[in-house]
Amino acid sequence: MITEDKKAAVLDAIGEFVFFLNERSVTFLAERHPGLDPDTYAMDGGRKYIRIVASRGGQSRYVHCFVDAQTGGVYKAASFKAPALNGERYNLLDPDSFAELKAKWDAYGGYLYKR
């Protein structure tokens, strides 16, 4: 059974992750494509997996990734409704893993692929 403290820690980490994604998206486009609107990232609730969705100019939405609501594990999206369950890419509750995610981030989601 997951404790309330762990739930709160995962939600805080996801909030920090979403803030990071929004900040980096703005910075990336300002540097490389100043005329374009940046993607806006947000949490889209779920019981087991929390979907991180991005929207472009309010027109279209796509799933950037999924985060396990109990462990903080980050998964690449397999579809709009399900994560790719072939392995956790990063863990938001592990400071080293979260730092690696931030270091490898790119605007195209390539950091979510297994190498």
Summarize pLDDT for 52-85 with one digit per residue, the tens: 999 987 778 899 999 999 999 999 999 999 999 8
Question: CA 26, CA 102: separation in Å to the nearest integer?
Answer: 15
Instruction: Please state the domain count of the chain.
Output: 1
| Nearest residue to 100 via CA among 111, 109, 85, 110 | 111
Residue 40 domain-assigned?
Answer: yes
pTM over cut 0.85? yes
Going from the C-alpha of 91 to that of each of 10, 65, 68, 105, the distances in angstroms are 10, 12, 9, 14
Task: State the residue range of the domain holding 89.
Answer: 4-101
The answer to whether 52 touches 44, Cβ cutoff 8 Å, is yes
Question: CA 20, CA 98: separation in Å to the nearest integer?
Answer: 11
Residue 66 domain-assigned?
Answer: yes
Residue 75 domain-assigned?
Answer: yes
Residue 92 domain-assigned?
Answer: yes
Residue 50 domain-assigned?
Answer: yes
Residue 112 domain-assigned?
Answer: no
